[in-house]
Amino acid sequence: MGAVAVALSSQLKEVQSLAAATEISCPILVVEGEKSVNRHLINLKATAAELPHGSYLLVADAGHLIPMEKPKGNIPISINPI
């Protein structure tokens, strides 16, 4: 399988997952670390906005592995309800 096919397959799985997530009736909190190197790969704030009960939480001064970087739970946060 070529690189383009792999990328398209990955994008299709992402769309299918989001479509399934829109059927969830309970609140969904999408959490993102401000310094995550993955932030350019997907717009999680927009993803949260597409969910019927989605909220977005940005963890300041944290990367991709928030629980490992902020284990004490003392994290400065900005909550942006959608």
pLDDT in tens, 25-59: 888 888 888 898 888 888 889 888 988 888 898 88
51 is in which domain, residue-wise? Answer: 25-81
CA dihedral (21, 47, 73, 62) positive or negative: positive
Least confident piece of the model among 13-17, 19-23, 65-69? 13-17
Q: With respect to residue 15, please indicate whether it lies within any of the assigned structural domains.
A: no
Q: Give me the number of domains the chain comprises.
A: 1
Q: What is the pLDDT of residue 12?
A: 47
Q: With respect to residue 2, please indicate whether it lies within any of the assigned structural domains.
A: no
Q: With respect to residue 13, please indicate whether it lies within any of the assigned structural domains.
A: no
- String of b and e for 9-28 (b: at least 16 CB within 10 Å)? eeeeeeeeeeeeeeeeeeeb
Q: What is the pLDDT of residue 69?
A: 74
Q: What is the pLDDT of residue 76?
A: 53
Task: Assign 77 a pLDDT band (cuts: 50, 70, 90).
Answer: low
pTM over 0.95: no
Contacts of 21 by beta carbon, 8 Å cutoff, 6+ apart: 28, 51
